[in-house]
Amino acid sequence: MAEIMKVHGSVISTATQRVLACLNEKELEFEFIPVNMAVGEHKKDSFLAINPFGQVPAFEQGDLKLFESRAITQYIAHGYAEKGTTLIIPGKPMATLSVWMEVEAHQFDPVASKLNWELFFKPMFGIPTDNAAVEENEAKLTKVLDVYEARLAQSKYLGGDIFTLADLHHLPNISCAMKTQVKKLFDSRPHVSAWVADITSRPAWCKVVAMGK
**Burial level of 189, CB count in 10 A (0-12/13-18/19+)?**
buried
Q: How confident is the prediction for the chain on average, in pLDDT?
A: 96
pLDDT in tens, 43-77: 999 999 999 999 999 999 999 999 999 999 999 99
In this prediction, residue 213 carries a pLDDT of 79
Q: Residues of the chain with pLDDT > 90: what percent?
A: 94
For every residue of 112-158, DSSP letters joined together read: HHHHHIIIIIHHHHT----HHHHHHHHHHHHHHHHHHHHHHTT-SBT
pLDDT in tens, 164-207: 999 999 999 999 999 999 999 999 999 999 999 999 999 999 99
Phi (first) and psi of residue 13, to 5 degrees: -80, 125
Stated pTM of the model: 0.95
Nearest to 108 by CA among 58, 37, 182: 182
Residue 7 has pLDDT above 90, yes or no: yes
Nearest to 113 by CA among 13, 43, 7: 13
In this prediction, residue 172 carries a pLDDT of 98
pLDDT in tens, 126-137: 999 999 999 999
In this prediction, residue 130 carries a pLDDT of 97
Residue 2 has pLDDT above 90, yes or no: no
pLDDT in tens, 80-97: 999 999 999 989 999 999
Residue 1 has pLDDT above 60, yes or no: no
